[in-house]
Chains A and B, each alone.
Chain A
Amino acid sequence: MTSISEDSDKEKVRSVSVDLNNDASLVIDIPDALCERDKVKFTVHTKTTLSSFQKPEFSVPRQHEEFIWLHDTIVETEEYAGLIIPPAPPKPDFEGPREKMHKLGEGESSMTKEEYAKMKQELEAEYLAVFKKTVQVHEVFLQRFSSHPIFRKDRNFQIFLEYDQDLSVRRKNAKEMFGGFFKNMVKSADEVLISGVKEVDEFFEQEKTFLLDYSSKIKDATAKAEKMTRSHKNVADDYNHISGALNSTAADNNTAFKKTISVCVLQKLEDRVASDQELKLTELLRYYTRDIQAAKDLLYRRARALADNENSNKALDKARLKGKDIAQAEENQKQCLQKFDKLSESGKKELTSFKARRVVAFRKNLIEMTELEIKHAKVRRLKSNNTLYGSKLSIFLLCQKSLGY
């Protein structure tokens, strides 16, 4: 059970920023979260000037499942088919740190007190990092809605923000899970089927190839970045262990190399580099992997509409040929066309803004990451410098001592 107040870290936490045009009429944040077992309760705080809300400021407790519910209802709403729907936040995963914590508890007897304390501290830091990240993705999810001109007016969204009781969303049961899985299957099969449909708009054609390409690349990059940060963390862990071992060696050793050995103050920093890298870069990539998936979904919906359109065209032709049901087919065809056009139009807008948003977000994160890297490197340089002087000094003292001064 950890409760954190994010205020101080707010700036940092928002790092995966999606370009949120923070207009003051609807500001959402998650200032606080409480973790109980596998449930995480987020406090969603809203400040608004919009008249559709009853109060200008309110906060409600929300769980992860409710976020998912919000996402699902919006996906299912027909009229948002032409929009990029913000990707749902991933399920909070505290298993890693928790497992480690457990292991630590088991290994407590085999470690010295300092080691244990250090490990514990370490794990707590890791846990906190995961926690922060989780809070942050949920926050960003809501902010995407609040900054979108259409979504912010969504009824369900407003209910989500305002209703201070439990939304009584239950978890998906097995059947629904299976249903979802099945739907996905159908969707991907459908994607293959309709890929044969000739694209009428060059913009979409282009966008489609780009997105497909980009999505695979970014997925790859994400995986690699994750790997990299993981090994970076391993290195940091090693530093940690080494510094522990060095300390105990030094403690046991009254010889001169005691002082020289306090080398590995660097470990903490390395750790921070790893987690910052994780936060800035990997999260960015991860987020965009999801976002691109959302964009791809949009494209799929559009393609679906396109296919429908073609089908209805065909149906109309057929009807005309047969001379019956013409009116109905015409109606149908018109509807499809309309829907398709609408979709195309909003899709185009969405994709363009998506692109702009992506570039801005990349820019911001890259800059931040670079700055952090520089900062850490500088701090590490300073530390190693200090330690270096420390060891040199201790050698000097040693010489002096042995010379009898």
Chain B
Amino acid sequence: MAASSERSPPPFPDSEEPELLEDSDEGADAFTGTSISEMDSPSPDSTRPPKDIFNEPPEDIFSDPLSNINSEPQKKVDAKIPSPSSDEAVDLFSDPLDDDSEVMSSPEVQNPMPDLLNEPVEAPKSDVLGEPPVSSVKKAASSEMFGDDDDDEDLFKEPPKVVTKKPQPSGPPVDVFTEVKSDVKVKPQVKDDPTDLFAEEALTAPAPKPSAGSSSSRTNGVHSEEQDLFSEATVELSLDSPRNDRKNKDAVKPSVSAPAAPVASSSSKAPSKTLKELEEEESEDKFDLNISITNPEKVGDGMNAYMAYKVSTQTSLTMFRSKTFTVRRRFSDFLGLFEKLSEKHSQNGYLIPPPPEKSILGMTKVKVGKEDPSSAEFVERRRAALERYLQRVVSHPSLLQDPDVREFLEKEELPRAVSTQALSGAGFLKMLNKATDAVSKMTIKMNEQDVWFDEKIQDVENEEQHLRKLHVMVESLVNHRKELSGNTAVFAKSVAMLGSSEDNTALSRALSQLAEVEDRIEQLHQEQASNDFFTFSELLADYIRLLGAVRGCFDQRMKAWQRWQDAENMLQKKREAEAKLLWANKPDKLQQAKDEITEWEAKVTQYEREFERISATVRKEVIRFDKEKARDFNRQVIKYLESLLHSQQQLIKYWDAFLPEAKAIV
């Protein structure tokens, strides 16, 4: 779902054929911006720069008119929705309740209508379409059932958009539709998008289609009804009801929720689909980009010394100038990269892999230049952590596209990352995160309407706790194993001594053999300890950090939500003010008030869209993260088990060799 949401409208407005499915594959590309730009270009709004869609305000600007229209009703909807428990909210909107919703909305609808009419809805629409659910619904309706009447199709499409934003308006007068229709016609590209989406969905969920078709055909005649249907679908979308609910609904009342069905199916399929996509992406995702960090080298002396790492990249990607290249980077460069990335991407809900933490103690030791094993271990540990960090960065399809990443990998000299000097970037960010986290937790009471997020946030928190616990334990395992290895060594020595003073030659021999065996076992324990550490403990540490980043994404989403809510409140206030003015009959100020309302309506829509976009991104990111996590854990666990297996085998070998010695004692 996340993926589809980001998909931009396809190039050809009129082409509604489901065959456009191919585009779905490119959905991934959509993120990269280039594809988006292509897709968008046909649309009237072609002015949009490619990346703007995601990052920039222009998009919002376009959406404004529409959003204004929608904002009002939607607010209402929201207000209503929260009252019942979120799960039921969905049901509320489902057919039986539709009437109610209409009723409720009707008064509000009045207001939006004029706005709608007055303003050029066109630009906004395309944006609106950007949303997958709507488009899918529309598409379902349009392509399947309405394929014949273009008008109808358009009509439907249009309303859905409008509807999406405001379920209540569904009840609105015909005028709206007509208007909408015209708009629709102006911007046909909108349609395409939906079709693609739908097509994809249709593939994934063929079953729902027929029902949708039938229902739509049934409703076909009556505009208002159809609208209701759409509204329903859209309501569901906006609510982001849990998949299960949707499924249930589908099962229970397929005919009623016909329009909803495709949506539901699409959303319910979403995770698996995204998984699939990710699978596919993975293959692409492998990107043929190998990064390794080698040769940690101390540069300079004293406290100004630092470790430089050789970052070698091997790739066949055309975006790089050559196939293999090497640069030297120091630790703060890595932190700098992270900062640049998080500055640019984190507010969009992207999951930026966090770099390893700065360790003043460890580095100081290295700086002092003692050649003791602990500092060597420190360097090796950091090298491995940095390598994993970079690999995570480049395996992220959107981050790989970032010019800073490319620069980091390619450019000979990087400007020194200064900001990381005093305080570790990760540490600082963490502090900041924690602070905002705490504050937002206190101040923002987010009324989570999306069960998926609700569960996920819980999951992530639990998981983090568990991993922390686990990490502590694994650390203690590592320490204990090191201790064990030390003790084994000491024991081996003392057995050797015992053997030397034993006067029975055979026994003495056996004892010294035993000492040797114990010596080897000590080696084994040592290896195992470092295996424990590098494959297990570090993995956990990484994921604790990553989970922190995931929570950061959730926080970003929450912030977006907060912005949106604030704007809603503001709008509400403005409306009240307007009403008062109206009551007081002060026409001179009325115009100003109206202007303000329009302004705020625009903002609300913008923020809402931002929120939805960020939700989609976060969702996608989290799904991707989960997948990666599963893969990583699997890989590491297997590696770990193999190392265990190996050491057990060695152990068997050693003891087997010793057995005859013991038996030889006479």
Which residues of A are in contact with B by a Cβ distance under 8 Å?
210, 213-214, 217-218, 220-221, 224-225, 227-228, 230-232, 234-235, 237-239, 241-242, 245-246, 248-249, 252-253, 255-257, 260-261, 263, 266, 355, 359, 362-363, 366-367, 370-371, 373-374, 377-378, 380-381, 384-385, 387-388, 391-392, 394-395, 398-399, 402-404
Contacts and interface: CB of A to CB of B under 8 A. Distances in A.
Given A263-B637, A381-B649, A220 B494 contact: yes
A211 to B, nearest CB: 10
A224 B483 CA distance: 12
B299 interface: no
A119 B160 CA distance: 59
8 contacts: A210-B501, A235-B480, A237-B480, A256-B630, A362-B510, A363-B665, A367-B659, A384-B641
Contacts of A367: 659, 662-663
A402 B283 CA distance: 13
Interface stretch (B417-425, B469-477, B559-567): B469-477
A224 B629 contact: no
Query: Which label, helix, strand, loop or mixed, suits the secondary structure of the B interface?
Result: helix
Given A248-B466, A255-B626, A373-B655, 13 more contacts: A220-B498, A224-B487, A225-B491, A227-B487, A249-B467, A249-B470, A253-B462, A257-B633, A367-B663, A374-B656, A380-B644, A381-B649, A388-B642
B368 interface: no
B638 interface: yes
Contact of B630 (A237, A252, A398): A398
Given A246-B470, A252-B463, A387-B641, A218 B498 contact: yes
Nearest to B274: A402
B651 interface: yes
Nearest to A261: B637
A393 to B, nearest CB: 11
Contacts of B630: 255-257, 398
A228 B638 contact: no
7 cross-chain pairs, A with B, having the tightest CB-CB distances, nearest first: A238-B477, A256-B630, A363-B665, A231-B484, A224-B491, A249-B466, A366-B662
Given A214-B502, A224-B491, A363 B662 contact: yes
Given A238-B480, A367-B662, A374-B656, A245 B498 contact: no
A371 B655 CA distance: 8
Contacts of A232: 484
B640 interface: yes
Given A217-B501, A256-B630, A367-B662, A377 B276 contact: no
A248 B470 CA distance: 10
B476 A238 contact: yes
Nearest to B664: A363
Interface of B: 272, 275-276, 278-279, 459, 462-463, 466-467, 469-470, 473-474, 476-477, 480-481, 483-484, 486-488, 490-491, 493-495, 497-498, 501-504, 506-507, 510-511, 514, 626-627, 629-630, 633-634, 637-638, 640-642, 644-645, 648-649, 651-652, 655-656, 658-659, 662-663, 665-666
Nearest to B470: A245
Contacts of B638: 260, 388, 391-392, 395
B640 to A, nearest CB: 7
Contacts of B497: 217, 220-221
A227 B491 contact: yes
A266 B634 contact: no
Nearest to B482: A231
Contacts of B272: 402, 404
Contact of A239 (B470, B477, B648): B477
Contacts of B626: 255
A214 B634 contact: no
Contacts of B502: 214
Contacts of A378: 648, 652
A363 B502 CA distance: 13
Contacts of B487: 224, 227-228, 230-231
Contact of B279 (A234, A355, A403): A403
B93 to A, nearest CB: 28
A225 B498 CA distance: 12
Given A231-B483, A252-B463, A252-B466, A238 B473 contact: yes
Contact of B276 (A246, A260, A395, A402): A402
B359 to A, nearest CB: 24
Query: Which label, helix, strand, loop or mixed, suits the secondary structure of the A interface?
Result: helix
Given A238-B480, A381-B648, A355 B503 contact: yes
A362 B665 contact: yes
A234 B659 contact: no
**Considering residues A218, A227, A237, A366, which has the most beta carbons from chain B within 10 angstroms of its beta carbon?**
A366
A223 to B, nearest CB: 8
Contact of A228 (B276, B467, B484): B484
**Considering residues A221, A252, A378, which has the most beta carbons from chain B within 10 angstroms of its beta carbon?**
A221
Given A249-B470, A263-B637, A373-B655, A221 B491 contact: yes
A237 B479 CA distance: 12
B459 A380 contact: no
Nearest to B475: A238
A374 B659 contact: yes
Contacts of B651: 373, 377
Contacts of B493: 224
A385 B659 contact: no
B49 to A, nearest CB: 35
Given A231-B487, A234-B480, A263-B637, A242 B494 contact: no
Given A242-B477, A367-B662, A388-B641, A234 B484 contact: yes
A377 B655 contact: yes
B507 A255 contact: no
Given A214-B501, A246-B470, A391 B507 contact: no
A221 B495 contact: yes
Contact of B665 (A242, A257, A366, A377): A366
Nearest to A269: B648
Given A263-B641, A391-B637, A394-B634, A217 B480 contact: no
A235 B470 contact: no
Contact of B490 (A217, A227, A256, A266): A227
